[in-house]
Amino acid sequence: MTPLAVILTVAAYFTAMLAIGWFTSKGTDNQGFFNGGRKAPWWIVAIAMIGAPMSGVTYVSVPGMVGTGAAMGYMQMVAGFFVGYLLIAYVLTPVFFKMNMVSIYQYLEDRFGAASHKTGAWFFFISKILGAAVRLYLVCVTLQLMVFAPLGLPFILNVVISIAIVLLYTFRGGVKSVIWNDTLKTVCMVVSIVLAIVFIARDMGLDFKGVAATIRDSSYSRIFFFDDIDHPEYFWKQFLAGIFTVVAMTGLDQDLMQRTLASKNAKESRKNLITSGLLQIPVIFMFLCLGVLLYVFAAQRGIEGSGDSIFPAVATGGYLPAAVGVLFVIGLVSCAYSAGGSALTALTTSFTVDILGAGKEGEEKLAATRKKVHLVMAILMGLVIMAFYLLNTKSAIDAVYKLASYTYGPILGMFAFGIFCKKPVRDRWVPLVAVAAPVICLVLQSNSERWFGGYKFSYELILINALLTVLGLLALIKRKKDE
């Protein structure tokens, strides 16, 4: 694709985002920003929640992973996702709605105390600011290669424009803007994937039956892995990790729960969660089918690439009609910037309510504080993106993803203990437990093959992290003499 084509495509999508942000911000007060005024239709939230967990990294990584030894084994984890959504719908959301919370981490103060509340909020803050920044960074790098570098424009301008767009469309509308932009994102993402499959199949001379046969006969189409417990794709590792990953990274993540908390009540929230959980199964399956076709197509044409590079290499390399490149850019941009705006809104909400404790001084002062925090969070996100760029190393990105996965374990452990065990704990020691659990997990993961006969930890590490947190909280239970 030419830089002009990319610019026009991105500009068209940005215009749509800003129009939605302007339209949804009309009459928005603080509650509208934080939870959409709890007036969002459940079916709109359900559509938004399909694409909400998917970022620009997901858009290129899920198709790419089929050729890196995982095949279509990711579907095992997706099956676990649905069970996780059921747990969120029937266990967590009734609690959150009953307490009428703006931020879900307010539960920790009500259950344990102020130290636990701050601990949960800071763990979320660290993981979300780094995770959101790295996702936007990877998209900025792609746009730099396709647009800014050919025009001789610096990377910092790329970052400033990207952050400005994300800031503008969420500044007034907040969660209301996020939900409607996520709906647009879901539609764009699904349409781009379906049409990419159609164009690739047409170029390969395949009809629907031919596409199904090509995918079925490919070595990349394996879904279930039951034969080797040490394999990272072993079924029970993936399935159980899928359950608890969704509970931790959706149900206990302010970024993603802010959408479902915008529903009218717990019943409406339950409907959107179950619907979106079901619909994610065929959507992700389409991503993986596209991945199989990409590798088959690349092998036929002698295209080099694997993993995250295979989709952009085929879509923008001139091997297919220009429409495929346009669809790729639309899907990438819709995933990346909607995820960035969502994260920015959640960071603003959590930092304002949980860390600063704002909201007791009246609506006007709360609005002023919220707007200042929103601007600061946007600047901080931009600075983190520039830091990744200056480091210029993939290992930094890998480290951030590992750190993000570690930080959700203590949050999962604290909520699990709080809901299923009603004993009070010594709140001031909770931060120590929350830090110790991931440190122990790091030691275990670094030595697992040597200590456990070749066993390698995979996504199930989050369960161990949460379990260690629960054990630590059990040790902090107040005895009668403490009370």
Residue in the block written with tokens 């044409």: 301
Residue type at 148 in one-letter notation = F
**Domain locations in the chain as residue ranges:** 3-400
* C-alpha separations of 85 from 248, 250, 254, 426 in Å: 11, 8, 15, 31
Answer positive or negative: Cα dihedral of 103, 109, 114, 120.
Answer: negative
Tokens of 160: 């400033």
Helix (H, G, I), strand (E, B) or coil at 445: helix
Give the alpha-carbon dihedral of 214, 219, 220, 226, to 10 degrees: 130
Please choose, from the candidates 18, 4, 349, the residue with its C-alpha nearest in 3D space to the C-alpha of residue 184.
18
Q: Is 246 in contact with 85 (CB distance < 8 Å)?
A: yes
Specify the pLDDT at position 24. 66
Helix (H, G, I), strand (E, B) or coil at 219: helix
Specify the pLDDT at position 365. 82
CATH class of 3-400: mainly alpha
Specify the pLDDT at position 291. 92
Specify the pLDDT at position 290. 93
First to last CA, the chain: 68
Nearest-angstrom CA–CA distance, 166 and 17: 9
DSSP string of 299-310, one letter each residue: HHHT----GGGH
Nearest-angstrom CA–CA distance, 268 and 262: 10
Nearest-angstrom CA–CA distance, 214 and 203: 14
Specify the pLDDT at position 32. 53
Global confidence as pTM: 0.78
Tokens of 275: 């619907």
Please choose, from the candidates 160, 184, 180, 161, the residue with its C-alpha nearest in 3D space to the C-alpha of residue 170.
180
Nearest-angstrom CA–CA distance, 102 and 99: 9
For residue 40, report the phi and psi dihedrals to the nearest 5 degrees.
-70, 130
Q: What is the pLDDT along the chain (483 residues), one digit of tens a residue?
A: 677 877 888 788 888 877 776 776 665 555 555 555 567 777 888 888 887 777 666 777 788 888 877 889 989 999 999 999 999 999 989 888 888 777 888 899 999 999 999 999 999 888 888 878 877 887 788 788 778 888 899 999 999 988 988 887 776 655 667 777 778 888 888 888 898 899 999 999 999 999 999 999 998 999 999 988 877 788 988 898 889 888 887 888 887 787 787 788 888 889 989 998 999 999 999 999 999 999 999 988 888 777 777 888 888 778 888 888 888 888 877 777 777 777 888 888 888 888 888 766 667 788 788 889 989 999 999 998 898 888 765 545 455 556 766 888 899 999 999 998 989 999 999 999 999 999 998 898 888 888 887 777 776 788 889 999 999 999 999 876 555
